Amino acid sequence: MRNFERINVAMDYLRANWWRLFGARIGAKARIGPRCECPLPGNVTIGERSVLEATVVLKLVEPQARLVVGQNTFIGRGTIFDVANEVLVGADVLIAPGCFVTDHDHGIDADATIWQQACASSTVTIGAGAWLGAKVIVLAGVTIGDGAVVAAGAVVTRDVDAMTIVAGVPARQIGVRQGRQGLK
């Protein structure tokens, strides 16, 4: 590893320690990249050896909002978590750059402007060993099963079974992972 790479890794560890000072529960050797944002770090748990690349936004919009990220999970640069209630991300998950995950949606009643309406919230769960390709969108109430793969650019509007491969807008099953099925 070159010296500047070592310095960048050391800075990532320092940023994780900084977030800990503000109440974030962050496991050993977890890394927080530059320009990551989190307005409520006390409501965030990040497992050991997990990585948030640069410019990841953990946008917790309500005081009770909670984000839990399992160990050995990688979250690519520019990914946004928009959380009003709860988002749970399992261990060994790969989230490519530019993804958007939200657990809530605005009402659409015609008697009020959109910004005046209450949000409806429902937990999002991303199972262990799942892979979200670049620029995937995951909407409120969705559960993505263990080992599932979501193709780049997909919009996930309903649950995805374990070991299933989905693609498209809205995401639809295009295959099933086969071979060694065991997850650690």
Work out the number of other CB atoms within 10 angstroms of the CB of residue 161: 15
Contacts of 77 (CB under 8 A, 6+ apart): 33, 53, 54, 55, 56, 97, 98
Work out the number of other CB atoms within 10 angstroms of the CB of residue 79: 24
Q: Does residue 104 carry a catalytic annotation?
A: no
d(CA 49, CA 55): 18
Give residue for tokens 């109440």: 23
Q: What is the 3-state secondary structure (H, E, C) of 50-86?
A: CEECCCCEEEECCCCCEEEECCCCEECCCCEEEECCE
* Residue of 35, 106, 158, 172 with catalytic role: 106
Catalytic residues: 106
